[in-house]
Structure 1
Amino acid sequence: MKLTAIDLFCGAGGLSRGLIDAGFDVIAGVENNPVAAETYRANYPGHYLVEADIATVDPLALMRDLGINRGQLDLLAGCPPCQGFSTHRTRRKSSAVEDSRNDLVFEYLRFVKELLPKVVMMENVPALAVDDRAHLVLRELIKLGYKVTSRSLQVKDAADYGVPQRRKRMILVASRFGEVSEPSPVAFHSTVRDYLSTMPLPGGANDVLHDYMPKRADKVQAMITLIPKDGGSRKDLPKEYWLPCHLKGRGGYLDVYGRMSWQKVSPTITGGCISPSKGRFLHPEQDRAITLREAAILQTFPSDYYFSLAAGRDHAALMIGNALPPKFIKVHADKIKEHLISVEG
């Protein structure tokens, strides 16, 4: 039974990858960023991609183009851009700074109202879960006939579902045909070793996302070399390598210039994932930051997944850091598929 899905704000395609891995036919995507759209097309050449500001996209015209009727789509999924809710931009983790992108959740809701899919799935950062916007979305879903319970909107850690990364995310799932069961957490977390230990040394992999090694300033490279292997921290450095703010006791982010640990999950992969000054992004034992390919693998993308470098390596890192881990999406999409088959069977 082939179930259909549309991916709004599809970015580089992490959500679509997870849906496809669960057996969904992703019939369309909507994305405004040209480099993300190039990445998406390269990986999913058969998908119908609307490259436009979602506020200008007519859901009725999209349905006509796809040949589907209201209520026929199985799943409408999406992750509205969430930078305004990011904890890096808020004083408190529960509050959002003013950012026009915060209201893009209502564009997602506009598509729900017009398409009336059988199931909706929206993913975002945890701060949205306690914002009034999310609860307005829930109230509107109830009016549209969706079954909403206390478990419809939750904050979950992707590490609990097989992703080798500490990554807390909000996920909203609701169906017009009853409650969708939840996936069970894994018994044991996947680790950095599970995913990166067999990676070849950068330089000989014939992979542009893995082979490039930036030239660091001598002092920075010396700092990296001195960080103890397998989980070391900048706190382990001799004082002469400490930054002025650290010497004055202001601390700063404790994970910067830190190494990942082989036997643990990685930290959250962010847009700064290839820069040692942006977090605990040093390789567990090699004296370097992780590569773009390693970051993508820790996000559970396939090892040959294409990411455009048209806007540079930092932009590619941002795409990877902003993406949804396909494995996290798949385990939830598996349950949605089971639910749809049971109600339509």
Structure 2
Amino acid sequence: MVLSSRRRTEGLSKKPKAIDLFSGCGGLTLGLRQAGFSVIGAIEADAVAAHTYRQNHRNSRLWQADIESVSPAQMRKILKLKVGELDLLAGCPPCQGFSSLRTRNGAQRNRDLRNGLVSQMVRFARVLRPKFIMMENVPNLASREPFRQLCRDLKRIGYRVEYAVKDASRYGVPQRRKRLILLASIDSAIVFAPEEAEFLTVRDAIGTIPSAGSGADPLHDMPEFPRSTRINELIRDIPKDGGSRRDLPAKRQLDCHRKTTGFSDIYGRMAWDQVAPTITTGCFNPSKGRFLHPEEDRAITMREAALLQGFPATYKFDPRLGKIAIAKMIGNALPPEFIRRHAILIRSALQLAD
């Protein structure tokens, strides 16, 4: 079903300015642009993600660099911004360091060096003094000291701060994806976009695209990695439209699967009329989750993964980068529609303040 609020930006004429920190392949930038923002600058350290960003956002000035080496004062001068002129500073610091899976659901302390990158939001905010700040990350971050320190620091420099955990499936994204979103403002009231009871499904997102291998889209036609005969037979026999390996007799299951009661989505099919599971960096591999096509005996393609993440079919991912690199970018990206809906309310608040 197509939601009534999708892509609507009625009554919003002026283009406010935004900067995207930790831009990745450009999901956040795309959502901001769809909401009517002009994304004038972005920072991304990874060369592969930066290449993809440039392919899709040619009018944004991109710094391909470690964010800690970028001077916000120099960025402000290059972008010809006055202090306080920037409307929105947005970013998603690398979240792998706060993943509950990586820390065995919090049982182990995670010393990932990327954890400290959250503080970069404050470093840039102190110099640029944006009217609004938006940060998105994994829910687990909310209970961690780097996030608590971020909130304290933003309040010290004059910002109101609100945050909440939201499920992207309630915001026009055909995928279960719970995310922490922080909004901060100097002058305006902070309002999160309203949730919707209706949702988009796997069928809505990928039900009408041509068959993989048709030659219409190189991203859709990337071949799967070779599998053993036993695995191919296992995939073939998993029931269509939402079936699981657990639907098979025990003797048909792999030895490693019979020894565990967890990870039930492994070698599972998506269901046509439900939202997809969270699209991760392993979405090309059915041994990493419920990533089998609802009907065909294969994993979802990279184009299907991108559509389920909320990217339009025209979004460019260079197939020469390889499936693993592309899956990493898609899995780490922010769903553009989720960002768009919150950004529209920020834009409205900016207009009321003018």
- Normalising by the smaller structure, the TM-score range is over 0.9
Give the AA of the match of 1:241. R
Match of 1:169 among 171, 175, 179: 179
Q: Quick check: 1:235 aligned with 2:246?
A: yes
Identity of aligned residues (%): 51
Q: Return the alpha-carbon distance in structure 2 between the equivalents of residues 70 and 227 of structure 1.
A: 58
Q: Is the 8 A contact 2:222 2:323 kept in 1?
A: no
Provide Cα deviations, 1:18-52, integer angstroms capped at 9, x if missing partner. Answer: 00000000001100000000000000112100000
Q: Quick check: 1:33 aligned with 2:46?
A: yes
Partner residue in 1 for 2:328 = 318
Matching of residues 78-89 of structure 1 within 5 Å: 78-89=91-102
Match of 1:20 among 28, 33, 44: 33
Matching of residues 1-345 of structure 1 within 5 Å: 1-93=14-106, 97-148=110-161, 152-214=162-224, 215-248=226-259, 250-344=260-354
Q: Secondary structure of the residue that 1:294 maps to in structure 2?
A: helix
Q: Secondary structure of the residue that 1:23 maps to in structure 2?
A: coil
CA displacement at 1:205 relative to structure 2: 4.1
TM-score, normalised via structure 2 length: 0.93
Q: Is the 8 A contact 1:259 1:282 kept in 2?
A: yes
Distance 1:158 1:95, change over 3 A: farther
Q: Secondary structure of the residue that 1:64 maps to in structure 2?
A: helix
Q: Return the alpha-carbon distance in structure 2 between the equivalents of residues 23 and 129 of structure 1.
A: 29
Partner residue in 1 for 2:3 = none
Q: Return the alpha-carbon distance in structure 2 between the equivalents of residues 205 and 173 of structure 1.
A: 43
Give the AA of the match of 1:244. D
Q: Return the alpha-carbon distance in structure 1 between the equivalents of residues 71 and 196 of structure 2.
A: 40
Q: Return the alpha-carbon distance in structure 2 between the equivalents of residues 310 and 286 of structure 1.
A: 25
| Alignment: residue pair count | 340
Q: Secondary structure of the residue that 1:87 maps to in structure 2?
A: coil
Q: Is the 8 A contact 1:245 1:252 kept in 2?
A: no
Q: Is the 8 A contact 1:230 1:285 kept in 2?
A: yes
In structure 1, the gaps of 5 or more residues are none
Give the AA of the match of 1:9. F
Which piece of structure 1 moves more, 77-86 or 129-138?
129-138
Provide Cα deviations, 1:242-280, integer angstroms capped at 9, x if missing partner. Answer: 1212333x2341100000011110000000001110000
Q: Return the alpha-carbon distance in structure 2 between the equivalents of residues 14 and 331 of structure 1.
A: 13
Distance 1:311 1:285, change over 3 A: same
Q: Secondary structure of the residue that 1:20 maps to in structure 2?
A: helix
TM-score, normalised via structure 1 length: 0.96
Q: Return the alpha-carbon distance in structure 1 between the equivalents of residues 350 and 266 of structure 2.
A: 45
CA displacement at 1:238 relative to structure 2: 2.9
Distance 1:5 1:263, change over 3 A: same
Q: Secondary structure of the residue that 1:173 maps to in structure 2?
A: strand
Q: Return the alpha-carbon distance in structure 2 between the equivalents of residues 92 and 107 of structure 1.
A: 26
Q: Return the alpha-carbon distance in structure 1 between the equivalents of residues 272 and 81 of structure 2.
A: 48
Q: Secondary structure of the residue that 1:28 maps to in structure 2?
A: strand
Partner residue in 1 for 2:9 = none
Q: Return the alpha-carbon distance in structure 1 between the equivalents of residues 261 and 108 of structure 2.
A: 24
Q: Secondary structure of the residue that 2:220 maps to in structure 1?
A: helix
Give the AA of the match of 1:239. A
Q: Secondary structure of the residue that 1:88 maps to in structure 2?
A: coil
Q: Return the alpha-carbon distance in structure 2 between the equivalents of residues 93 and 266 of structure 1.
A: 25
Q: Is the 8 A contact 2:279 2:331 kept in 1?
A: yes
Q: Secondary structure of the residue that 1:105 maps to in structure 2?
A: helix
In structure 2, the gaps of 5 or more residues are 1-13
Distance 1:195 1:100, change over 3 A: same
- TM-align CA RMSD: 1.3
